[in-house]
A and B are shown apart, each in its own frame.
Chain A
Amino acid sequence: GQSLEQPSEVTAVEGAIVQINCTYQTSGFYGLSWYQQHDGGAPTFLSYNALDGLEETGRFSSFLSRSDSYGYLLLQELQMKDSASYFCAVPNQAGTALIFGKGTTLSVSS
């Protein structure tokens, strides 16, 4: 089956750079996704990596290494509003829906 591991908490200060790692086990691989969720809010899509390498979208970048079953989300120039939970996700075995990790809570302080 599928499983994902990510740190439960990360803290950082405004303006810093933080990396949230995700390792996964899956029987078939279709890509690694990242979602952000603020307290009480809906998860929102951040990025999707199907191939190895770095994808950059503004202050956020996502990296994938399929050979290592590993990816990370890189957040630069942190702002207070980046305080949220971040989830990595991979498709389930049938490829029909995403399976989410338990999430990493990022706390950004001034």
Chain B
Amino acid sequence: GAGVSQTPSNKVTEKGKYVELRCDPISGHTALYWYRQSLGQGPEFLIYFQGTGAADDSGLPNDRFFAVRPEGSVSTLKIQRTERGDSAVYLCASSLAGGEGGYTFGSGTRLTVV
């Protein structure tokens, strides 16, 4: 596609529920990143995929968070047993390998846990 597409744009869920957030990167971008951003803060790194594999998941806050990219394109971020503290904008970005040319971010999914 022309840009990075994230769905849904907004998600409201109850505490304790499971959610899935989807990212469709730019075609041909082998690198995919998930970040989350709280109000007034910079994006916080969660996980990096190179192709199908998670090359760096050191930013995932705990084992309730998991992400997959089974065919090397679309990625899904999965959050189990959501907590109110998970409320944030979840951003996905993609880039060519190396990333020096910059990341292209999607518009994000605003997750609200009530």
Contacts and interface: CB of A to CB of B under 8 A. Distances in A.
Given A42-B91, A42-B108, A43-B91, A98 B103 contact: yes
Interface of A is mostly: loop
A43 B105 contact: yes
Interface residues of B, number: 26
* A interface bracket (residues with beta carbon within 8 Å of B): 20 to 34
Interface stretch (A60-68, A75-83, A89-97): A89-97
B42 A100 contact: yes
B45 A103 contact: no
Given A97-B48, A97-B56, A102-B41, A44 B105 contact: yes
Contacts of B43: 43, 87, 100
Give the residue among B93, B102, B104 with the most A Cβ atoms within 10 A: B102
A96 B108 contact: no
30 contacts: A31-B100, A33-B102, A35-B102, A35-B103, A42-B106, A43-B93, A43-B103, A45-B101, A45-B102, A48-B101, A50-B100, A87-B42, A89-B42, A92-B45, A92-B56, A94-B58, A96-B56, A97-B33, A97-B45, A97-B56, A97-B59, A98-B33, A98-B45, A100-B42, A100-B44, A101-B42, A102-B40, A102-B41, A103-B40, A103-B41
